[in-house]
Structure 1
Amino acid sequence: MKLKRYLYEERPSWVVKCEHLDLTLGRWLNLCGLLPLICQPFRWISRLGDGLIWYAIMLILPLLLGWSGVLLTLQMALTGLACTWIYLFIKRSTSRRRPCDASDSIEARMPPLDKYSFPSGHTLHAVAFSTLLIAGLPQLAGFLITFTLLVALSRMVLGLHYPSDVLIGALLGWLLARLSLAIHVPLPL
């Protein structure tokens, strides 16, 4: 216990304040999930964000858009692989415990897919895929932005991620999608 206290006291005050804010905001968002009318839809959204909706879109794009859809699907798949490698590397390197495991006041409202919290893979992939799809199909921007925001919010309401996990996941997803778009920009369809 002395070692933990020593490490805690040695951190800069701004880090301690950020962690406190992260935990406080996470608790507040998790409390929103106490109501079944809120919790159940967020469970569904989170499950769709597991990959189901993205895989369905990748299967449909070539059928609806021909060669352009094949290229966009390939770009999504390669970007998704890069996202997965990076987020797994970071998760294993940081080994940050999920808020539901680190705090008695935050409850997991569904089982997590893996052990660690940082960054949010759901948010990372949702932002990356939405950014790519909006570049190719700008008419879907409203749906994609709304769905991505709901996926990100669901991870906090369900007690599986801190707000900072979601924020960094979103930033990484956007950066990886922008890198992908720097290599190949799909023609708006």
Structure 2
Amino acid sequence: MKASAGLLGGLLFVLGACSAAQEKRLADGSWQIRCGESMQRCASRADMLCGDAGYEVTGGGTRGKVLGGPTGYRTRVQASELIVRCGANDASSAEDAPSSLPTLPKAPAPTQCVPGATQACVGPGGCSGGQACREDGAGFEPCDCGEQLPRTTAPAPAPAPSEPPAPPSAPPASEAPGGDAPAGGGWEEPRPPGEG
């Protein structure tokens, strides 16, 4: 008895939820179901209309609207609508039926910079330059350092001599201290006094 009362209560709840739904048969055989605030009510009504055949959702959505003025009490109301085609769960009918859902355009790629904007950069070889954002905003062009001036290089070191330098020679006789040059033309070892 309790089980049947629970089942009856559940059935009444489902019927009450669907009572606000309004359905309309369209020219192509599909159903348009309007359900007030709940999309779930539309889906429940589609289950009841199509039964074991199942259904395919071909369109619909929920729209909201705010009622009331900017200074007064405001409330949001929703209107849901679902368009279904019964029996579309069958694989053969799903393949034969063309899809009536519109294809959404691809979202544009997010921009990385403002087209035409410039910024300083460091280019090849460590040069300072600038770069501009590409026209599509997807990124910056390569760094442009302008006309590169040739690098100045220090003179190369002198090559190492192939022969070692000669040892210093003795100064000429005319430069000897005191002007007295020995007969041999070179310097003599100094002698201790008294020898000579």
The TM-score bracket by the shorter chain reads under 0.3
- Normalized per residue, which structure has more strand? 2
TM-score (norm 1): 0.23
TM-score (norm 2): 0.23
In our comparison, the structure showing a higher alpha carbon Rg is: 2
Q: Which has the higher contact order (CA 8 A, sep 6+)?
A: 1
